[in-house]
Amino acid sequence: MRRLHIWLALIWLVMILVPVCVLASLQDFEISGDLRLRLRFTDSDYTGHLKATYGEEVRRGFSFRHRAIFEVTYPFGEDFRAGALVRISNEPDEVIESGPEYLSSQFGSAFIAYESQSVNARFGYYQVSFTPLALMRWDLNDDPEGGGGVCAVCGGPGVAGAILGETLEELGPELTFEGLKLKVTPNEFFQIEGYFARPSIADETYPVVTFGVKAGLRQYLSHAKSFIDIAVIALRSQDDHKTLKGSTEPLGRVFENNVYGLTWEIPIIKEVAFEGEWILTSSQGRDLAQRSVPGWDMRGRGGRIVLSFKPEKRWLLDAAYIYLSPNWDSYFRGLSYQPNRRGLRLRCEYGGERLVVALFGKFLSTIDDVFFGQQPKSRVIYPTLSARAYYEIHRGVNLGIATIFSGEGTSNNLLTTSVGNKRTTLLGTVTVELSKDLSISLEERYVFRRSDLEPDYDVSLTSLYVRTVLW
């Protein structure tokens, strides 16, 4: 059945391209596409469910995954463009339905756009991201090695999407929605951006409607040779409980989620910058299958405060404080951010001509605010540590090594800590760039999992990746 769908998608693409090619010159078309292949062997002596570096479940034995994405755009006049996207993949349905492309069809979509100097409007599919705590798939700065800490991949009732072990996704900030996106820049100091979408979310009883706006001011600071950016954000996501998905019975969870926030990027001097965001959230909902059970009404707050230091081009140092209250709930937040967390994140990176070295540490703990009664005697802690290095041993040949540790435990005070669940990864990669459009990578990932509550096990993942740009 999947092969039939693939052939139908290819026939659909040809039916679109051939008539248009007859009416217009091929030189006017912009055609892009890339192909990703992965052959993987997963091995472990443990017979239960296997989890890899970031908590994602993986399947033992051999697996072969492929993903091809084709996009064709054509300009109509000076300011209008139209295009189509076709996706062909053998990734499982749950991978495709878990984002970041929330499309009504797993095989593709289309768009039409108006683009001028001050107005950019697009109807159809589009990419969007605001801030890590409001609207984003993945925060690359909250990332030890292409992933997050313990349970960062877990999608729950308060968050859309997840990162699964069978995905070929290349993590990044953008989400892909279908609907309308509008961006207006009347002058160099002010910009407003808004969107409306009905994304298809896995495991949701009803279709989800989401819309939001971000309005910001920008000013160039000559002493820092950079811009100061300040913006306000307002988002709303909710179930359309009057419309059923397929033959689903009119039962299940319905919710409303509102997000309001302030975000800023302030360069202090050329080498030092201060950035962050402060987010207020409110969530209401109920379970239609249990009408006698009262619903929920939660209000939360959270933020990031980041101080970054770049003494020269090759160095980066930054320190961040993260605070997310227990009832904080932003539906399309970056997947590595969880409620009921506070603590520090530290990064240090060096990027030379042939050598890149990075150290990462995140030390979070639960908050568990109690307004009445006694505070809990212990807190749950979530340490994440990593070190990685990449070296160009020959032109076009790169060697990478990394170690990642993440854990979950308890702490009674600053000096007494017990980490009961531990996951340690050793990673080695060799990447050969055969051309600017073709690369091959061999990766060995060895994961040691230790837990006080579940059996200990080791899992080895040997993967061969091929990535090529087709056009």
pLDDT of 238-268, one tens digit each? 887 666 555 455 556 678 899 999 999 999 9
> Letter for the amino acid at 391?
Y
Partner residues linked to 71 by β-bridges: 32, 85
Burial zone of 72 (CB within 10 Å; 0-12 exposed, 13-18 middle, 19+ buried): buried
Report the number of distinct structural domains present in the chain: 1
pLDDT class of 372 with cuts at 50, 70, 90: very low
Tell me the average pLDDT across 290-313. Answer: 85
Nearest to 464 by CA among 415, 436, 431: 431
| The residue type at 188 | E
Q: Is residue 463 part of a domain?
A: no
Per-residue model confidence (pLDDT) at position 111: 94
pLDDT of residue 324: 94
Let me know if residue 471 belongs to a domain. no
Spacing of C-alpha 459 from chain mean position:
25
Neighbours of 220 (CB within 10 A): 12
Is residue 409 domain-resident?
A: yes
Band of the pLDDT at 222, cuts 50, 70, 90? confident
pLDDT at 89 over 50: yes
371 confidence band (pLDDT: 50, 70, 90): very low
Please provide the average confidence, as pLDDT, over all residues in the chain.
84
Cβ contact 372:385 at 8 Å: no
Query: What DSSP assignment string belongs to 317-336?
Result: EEEEEEEE-TT---TT--TT
* Residue pair 449/48 in contact by the 8 Å Cβ criterion: no
88: left (phi over 0), alpha (psi -120 to 50) or beta: beta
Q: pLDDT at position 148, please?
A: 40
Exposed / middle / buried, residue 243 (Cβ in 10 Å: 0-12, 13-18, 19+)? exposed
Q: Which residue has the higher pLDDT, 74 or 11?
A: 74
The neighbour count for residue 377, using CB atoms within 10 Å, is 8
Q: Determine the Cα angle at 334 with ends 333 and 338, to 5°.
A: 80
**467 located within any domain:** no
Confidence grade of residue 397 (pLDDT, cut at 50, 70, 90): very high
More confident position, 84 or 156: 84
Q: What average pLDDT score do residues 343-366 get?
A: 92
> First CA to last CA across the chain, in angstroms?
28
If one counts every other C-beta atom within 10 angstroms of the C-beta of residue 202, the result is 17
Angle made by CA atoms 344, 271, 400, in degrees to the nearest 5: 65
Residue 169 near residue 100, CB atoms below 8 Å: yes
C-beta contacts of 338-342 below 8 A and 24+ residues apart? 338/151, 338/152, 339/158, 339/300, 339/302, 340/366, 340/367, 340/368, 341/365, 341/366, 341/367, 341/382, 342/367
- Environment class of 424 (CB within 10 Å of its CB; exposed 0-12, middle 13-18, buried 19+): middle
Question: Is 378:411 a contact under the CB 8 Å cutoff?
Answer: yes
Containing domain of residue 340, as a range?
Answer: 2-428+445-458
Q: What is the pLDDT of residues 414-467, one digit of tens each?
A: 555 677 788 999 999 999 999 888 999 999 999 999 888 888 899 999 999 999
Predicted local confidence at residue 37, as pLDDT = 96
Q: What's the rounded mean pLDDT across residues 108-135?
A: 94
pLDDT of residue 468: 92
Q: Is residue 58 part of a domain?
A: yes
Nearest to 83 by CA among 15, 27, 31, 118: 31
What is the pLDDT at residue 373? 43
**Which positions ≥6 away from 373 have C-beta within 8 Å?**
none
Q: Is the residue at 435 inside a domain?
A: no
**pLDDT tens-digit series, residues 56-70:** 888 899 999 999 999
Specify the CATH number for the domain of residue 174: 2.40.160
- The token pair that represents 457 in the structure block: 């096990």
Asked whether residue 154 carries a pLDDT value surpassing 50, the answer given is no
- Per-residue pLDDT, averaged over 308-331, amounts to 91
Alpha-carbon dihedral 268, 269, 273, 278, rounded to 10 degrees: 10
- Give the model's pLDDT for residue 323: 95
Mean pLDDT, residues 355-361 taken together: 93
Q: How far apart are CA 347 and CA 144, in angstroms?
A: 9
* 159 or 196: which leads in pLDDT: 196
Tell me the HSE value of 187 on the side-chain side, using a 13 A CA sphere.
Answer: 5
Residue 177 in domain: yes
Judge whether 170 and 358 are in contact, CB under 8 Å.
no
Q: Is the pLDDT score of 120 beyond 70?
A: yes
Mean pLDDT, rounded, for 159-178: 87
